Amino acid sequence: MLFCLILNLFCVICVVPAIAETSDDYWAPWVTKTTTTSATINWKGASDGTGSIDYATSSYYNEHQNFEKTIASQTKGAYQHVQLISLEPNTSYIYRVRPSGNTDAFSNRIFRTMPVKGPFTFVVISDSQEGHNYTEEMRFKYVADAVAKEEDVLFVLHGGDYAGHDSSSLWGKYFQVADVMLAKFPIFTTIGNHEYHTSGGTYPPTAADQYHWSYDIPSDMPLNHYFDCAGIRFIILDSPDPNNTDSDDPHTSLALSQSQSSWLEGLLKHDMHGTFVIHHHPIWDNGRTDIDPNLAPWETLYHKYGISANFAGHTHNYQRYSINGIPYFVVGNAGGRFADINEGDPHAAGYQFGETRKLGYLKITVNPEHNTATAQEIFVASVQEDDSDETPQVYAPPIIGDTITFKLSSKESGHSDGGRCFIATAAFGSYFSPYVKILRDFRDTFLFTNHIGQSFVNWYYKVSPPIANFISTRESIKTVVRIILIPAVGFAYLCLKVGTLTTLLLLLFSSAAIYLGIKRFYRLRYTSHDHLF
CATH of the domain at 52: 2.60.40.10
Burial of 266: CB neighbours in 10 Å, binned 0-12, 13-18, 19+: exposed
> What Rg do the C-alpha atoms of the chain give, in angstroms?
28
Same structural domain, 219 and 355: yes
3-state helix, strand, coil in the chain (%, to 5): 35, 25, 40
Q: Is 379 helix (H, G, I), strand (E, B) or coil?
A: strand
Residue 103: give the domain boundaries.
1-113
Q: Is residue 533 part of a domain?
A: no
Q: Is residue 386 part of a domain?
A: yes
Query: In which element (H, E) is residue 331 found?
Result: strand 326-331
CA 422 to CA 382: how far, in whole Å? 42
Same structural domain, 304 and 202: yes
Same structural domain, 221 and 130: yes
CA 346 to CA 348: how far, in whole Å? 7
CA 426 to CA 438: how far, in whole Å? 15
Which pLDDT does position 18 carry in this prediction? 41
Q: Is residue 470 part of a domain?
A: yes
Choosing from 342, 374, 407, the residue where a domain stops is 407
Same structural domain, 323 and 462: no
Contact of 404 with 375, CB cutoff 8 Å: yes
Q: Is residue 453 part of a domain?
A: yes
Q: Is residue 187 part of a domain?
A: no
Q: Is residue 185 part of a domain?
A: no
Which pLDDT does position 16 carry in this prediction? 41
Q: Is residue 204 part of a domain?
A: yes
Residue 356, number of CB atoms within 10 A of its CB: 20
Same structural domain, 424 and 469: yes
Same structural domain, 351 and 452: no
Tens place of pLDDT for every residue, the chain, 533 residues?
Answer: 434 444 444 444 444 444 456 666 789 999 999 999 999 999 999 889 999 999 999 999 999 999 999 999 999 999 999 999 999 999 999 999 999 989 999 999 999 999 998 899 999 999 999 999 999 999 999 999 999 999 999 999 999 999 999 999 999 999 999 999 999 999 999 999 999 999 888 899 999 999 999 999 999 999 999 999 999 999 999 999 999 998 999 999 999 999 999 999 999 988 789 999 999 999 999 999 999 999 999 999 999 999 999 999 999 999 999 999 999 999 999 999 999 998 888 888 899 999 999 999 999 999 988 899 999 999 999 999 999 999 999 999 999 999 999 999 876 433 334 345 678 878 887 766 788 888 877 876 777 666 677 678 767 766 777 787 788 778 888 888 889 888 888 888 888 888 878 878 877 887 777 877 777 776 766 665 555 55
For residue 134, give the nearest of 430, 392, 521 by alpha carbon: 392
CA 82 to CA 276: how far, in whole Å? 27
CATH of the domain at 138: 3.60.21.10
Same structural domain, 134 and 278: yes
CA 261 to CA 528: how far, in whole Å? 66
**In three state form, how does the secondary structure of 240-294 look?**
CEEEEEECCEEECCHHHHHHHHHHHHHHHCCCCCEEEEECCCCCCCCCCCCCCHH
Which pLDDT does position 378 carry in this prediction? 97
Q: Which neighbouring-strand residues pair with 226?
A: 235
Residue 505, number of CB atoms within 10 A of its CB: 12
Which pLDDT does position 228 carry in this prediction? 95
Same structural domain, 468 and 322: no
Q: Is residue 522 part of a domain?
A: no
Same structural domain, 292 and 216: yes
Count structural domains, the chain.
Answer: 3
Same structural domain, 148 and 282: yes
Task: Please give the DSSP secondary-structure letter assigned to residue 348.
Answer: -
Same structural domain, 372 and 347: yes
Choosing from 365, 382, 407, the residue where a domain stops is 407
Same structural domain, 310 and 358: yes
